[in-house]
Amino acid sequence: NSGALTTLNLSGTGDGNFTVTAGALTTAVVDTLALNLSGFTHTGNAMTIDTDYTTINLDSSGTASTISEISIAGATTLNVTGDAKATFTASTVTALKTVTVTNTAGFQMDNISATTTFTGGAGADGVTLANATETTIAMGAGDDTVVYGGATSTTAGKVGAVSGGDGKDTIT
């Protein structure tokens, strides 16, 4: 619990509830978190990042990392870098508007909301989309996977689109 936490480095194995708070201050001191993963696996209960963090800069380097049941409910921006695959499962990302991936090994995430724009990188990225996607999903290079939650939106001005990019892509 720190009002000044800007960087969190994780490796190894975690299990159970894990919460990162920005100090429960009336007015947040920081709104950006650098989350650096290297061979980190979190299973079991939720890993929750405080809603005061609106930007998450995720770096997955060295060895692939997986976080199951992650909540970054306050984040509007997620930037993914590094050279090792990162995987988020059972994601809660209700405020997320933009995901930008430059990670060379790929990024996997489920529960992409209908209003989130996703720009993939050179690695093997994967997303599971919500029903009625309203934005652009550009997977980038690499052998990517897109799983539709349902048809894209048909609302004028909010019609979503998916672009597979270079590589052998799978869209289901």
- What does the pLDDT look like over 6-24, one tens digit per residue? 999 999 998 888 888 776 6
Number of alpha carbons in the 13 Å side-chain half-sphere of residue 70? 25
pTM: 0.92
Q: Quick one: pLDDT band at residue 45, thresholds 50, 70, 90? A: confident
Which residues sit opposite 82 in a β-bridge? Answer: 60
d(CA 115, CA 94): 9
Q: How many helices (H) and strands (E) does the chain have?
A: 0, 17
Q: Is 162 exposed, middle or buried (0-12, 13-18, 19+ CB in 10 A)?
A: buried
